[in-house]
Structure 1
Amino acid sequence: MTVCQACASSESDVLVDGGMQALCNAYPSSLEEYAYQFHVLLGQCKTCGLIQLLRTPDENEIIPKYEWITYSEPEEHLDELSDQLLKLPGLTQDSVFCGITYKDDSTLERLRRRGIKTTWRVSPRDLNITLPNAGSETVLPKLNDESTIKKLIDKNQRPDVIIGRHVLEHAFDTQKFLNAMSVLVKPQGYVVFEVPDCTKNLKEYDYTMIWEEHILYFTSTSFSKLFQNTFFTLFQRFYYPYTDENVMIAVVKNNKSDNDFKKTWVSSNEEDFFGLMFSKNFDVIYKKIHIYFQGLFNQNKKLAIFGAGHISCMFINLFKIKNYISFVV
């Protein structure tokens, strides 16, 4: 990390050092095939408390090489969210709604069913992207260019509302991306950001939350503070609990100037405590996992991992247990 993604501070603490690892979406066809590696280093800003990757992989390397790699997010809350968005002040059925990636298609469809006449989504073709289901890791870097934003506005109607589900945590340059969104949306317009809540992961010492495609790891506090030095005002918050990963939503309004930015940041004691305990307990969990797997191995058990997604990859690589695993399903 050169500077914090939120407050631009250069001071941080290392929480977890996972060493050099291959990307979770690489899937080489043989042991001899070259696999790009990057330094997995999770840290916490000492100024604002935001937990984030201190090293990020190459943006070109992180783009999936296979079209069959797709990501899905929970959607059970989207009907209620759509109803809430239509109640935002100043919106009518003639308001224009825009989505950032394919993850926003189902929300836009719900809004159309509720009477919204005009919706559009950023097309990968407009960004010179050939992948049909291009995700955040492909789309977001292209959106940081203001000339690209202007082309999108010229081609489509400038939106009153932008929907951005599960994109913010993927942004390699958070402030540049937020600035681009403030240019794309109308003045006094809204941007709806949905992100995973990492509070449970931090409390339960779930280190598999770490993933090279997630740059930021939000709690309720750090999510709200993120918009402090942006052109957005936090207008409304929604929270939807799920069994695996809770969802946080921030509706922000494009109504600030540079003069409204706060110049000071203060991390909360809760954020600092989360980071401290998450860091301190890594070695404890690491030893417990090895004792458990060594016991099974000593009993001549054949061990398999069910699932080859990023959670399984991080579990195997972060805790260095590959020698215990016979195969991955």
Structure 2
Amino acid sequence: MNPSQFNNLETSGELLIDFGLQPVSNRFLAPDRSSKAPNFPLKLRLSKDSGLIHLAEPFPIEEMKPQYDWLTCFEPEAHLDDMVNTMINLPGINQNSKFGAYSFKDDSTLDRLRNKGYRNTWRIDPELDLGVYDKCANVETYQFSFTMNTTNAMKKKYGMADIFIIRHVVEHSYKLLEFLDAAKNLIHENGYIVWELPDCERALEMGDWTTIWEEHVFYFTSSTFKNLLLSSGFEIVHFESVPYLLENSLVAIVKLSKQFNPISVDSNELEKEIKRAYSFVENLNHRKKIIREKLEKIKKEKGSIAMFGAGHLSIAFLSIADIADLIDYVIDDNQNKKGLLMPINDLEIVGSEVLYTKDIRFCLLSLNPQNQPKVIKNHEKFISNGGTFASIFPGGDKDLLVL
């Protein structure tokens, strides 16, 4: 793999699929708004020498910044105790070691370290260290200011880290090589970086297009991320894919390679990644067609269709498949979202009481699969009244296409 190819995403590899214009998925609108949600071209490209899939042209940073300070994100954490135990047992690490971290996504990891007596910790301050003063800004903005210049200042302020933690950020990077170099700049020669990021392998294999999000520039698998690390001057100390229902989490602990030699991607692995990418498009197109046909039939037989969950997963599901016209209600019990409009088809977000006050007998679940059983349990009355819940995600027992 030659990582320098990702300096120009528009020309890296070949066009894999063009989704046309897609909305900024965090742009929830007030009913009396005077503007519409912005739309930008969304295309995926495939690097033929690595198998890595990425956006052809990321959306403008200033447009992706959330408009509300209550918008946030949640990353999987059930594995963090084990991850912390792995970290503190690395060679050279002791209770005097210095642990640095990238963002609020790492706070719970730092808490676990401090609870174990590892109290020499610090975390990047978006305002003071990155010059990001907008309280609504998130990692989509932070990554653009994470450079050699800003990390040089951090080194003077905090000192070199023995371990630097970056959870669920590298996939957002617009300038991948610069981001990797900036991370290297914060550890000493025997230090470690702990990377965590989504494992897209299962979604790609199943044609699940909800994995595509304008905030994620890169769509890594175990193979493509390992090859990126090795090609970028890292030695991999620990690597695993932690299983979760929605998507697994890749955890990689690396240190700087003492003798960096360019590597070539295993031809069998490369063939597998390229085949997976092509199959993703085929499965996606097939699944889109079947889902529209099934929802049209359900709407004809059962009437109104609701969708439970107003987030980027539901927006991707509706927009990429061009099926928002089949949805009558979008449900979300987040009080901040109620009454706002989705950035697609001006669908109003309403509370779950509509399951009982409106004539609804079919409801799609676009929540993280680990949260779906709770919703189903809370709304057993909807089911006893003749209602049906179905998941938008492939593979589970609630999969829309297996009901």
- Give TM class, smaller chain: over 0.9
- Equivalent residue number for residue 13 of structure 1: 14
- 1:300 deviation in Å? 6.0
Q: Which moved more, 1:75-84 or 1:149-158?
A: 149-158
Within-5 A mapping of 1:193-208? 193-208=195-210
1:82-121 equivalences under 5 Å are 82-121=84-123
CA separation in 1, counterparts of 2:82 and 2:330? 38
Q: Is the CA contact (8 Å cut-off) linking 1:13 and 1:46 kept in structure 2?
A: yes
Which stretch of the first structure deviates more once superposed, 10-19 or 33-42? 10-19
Q: 2:83: which partner in 1?
A: 81
What is the rounded CA distance, in whole Å, between the counterparts of 2:80 and 2:87 in structure 1? 10
Cα drift, residue 230 of structure 1 = 1.6
Partner Cα distance (1:118, 1:5) in 2: 35
Match of 1:307 among 306, 309, 317: 309
**2:68–2:136 CA contact under 8 A, matched in 1:** no
> Which residue of the partner structure matches residue 211 of structure 2?
209
The structure that has the greater radius of gyration is 2
Query: Aligned residues, how many?
Result: 325
Q: Secondary structure at the match of 1:34?
A: coil
Change beyond 3 A, Cα 1:132–1:114: farther
Report the Cα offset of residue 4 of structure 1.
Answer: 4.0
Deviates more, 1:312-321 or 1:53-62: 53-62
Name the CA distance, whole Å, in 1 between partners of 2:62 and 2:256. Answer: 31
8 A contact 1:199–1:218 mirrored in 2: yes
> 1:136 matched to which residue of 2?
139
Aligned to 1:237: 239
Distance 1:10 1:263, change over 3 A: farther
Letter in 2 for 1:5: F
Alignment map for 1:254-293 (pairs within 5 Å): 254-256=256-258, 260-262=260-262, 264-265=264-265, 268-293=270-295
Aligned-residue Cα RMSD (Å) equals 2.2
Using the alignment, how far apart are the partners of 1:92 and 1:324 within structure 2? 57
- AA matched with 1:105: D
CA distance 1:154–1:174, shift in 2 (3 Å): same
Contact preservation (8 Å) 1:230, 1:261: no
Write the deviation string for residues 232-269 of structure 1: whole angstroms up to 9, x where unpaired.
Answer: 22221133211222111111102446xx2416455612
What TM-score comes out, normalization by structure 1 length? 0.92
* Alignment check: 8 A CA contact 2:42 2:55 kept: yes
Shift of 1:6: 8.5
Structure 2, gaps ≥5 residues long? 332-403
Q: Deviations over 1:81-112 (max 9, x none)?
A: 10110111111111100110100000011111
Distance, in Å, in 2 between the alignment partners of 1:95 and 1:228 is 25
Q: Between the two proteins, what is the percent identity of the paired residues?
A: 33
- 1:22 lines up with 2:26 in the alignment: no
Distance in 2 (CA, whole Å) between partners of 1:228 and 1:79 is 27
Change (3 A) 1:256 1:212: farther
CA separation in 2, counterparts of 1:119 and 1:238?
25
1:139-150 aligned at under 5 Å gives the runs 139-144=142-147, 146-150=148-152
**Which range moved further: 201-210 or 8-17?**
8-17
1: CA distance between counterparts of 2:120 and 2:285?
53
AA in 2 matched with 1:171 = S
Does 2:173 match 1:171? yes
Measure how far apart 1:80 and its partner are.
Answer: 0.9
1:57 to 45, 56, 59: 59
Q: Distance in 2 between matches of 1:67 and 1:176?
A: 28
CA spacing shift, 1:220–1:212, aligned 2, 3 Å: same
Structure 1, unmatched stretches of 5+, are none
* TM-score normalised by L of structure 2: 0.76
Q: How does 1:217-232 map to 2 (within 5 A)?
A: 217-232=219-234
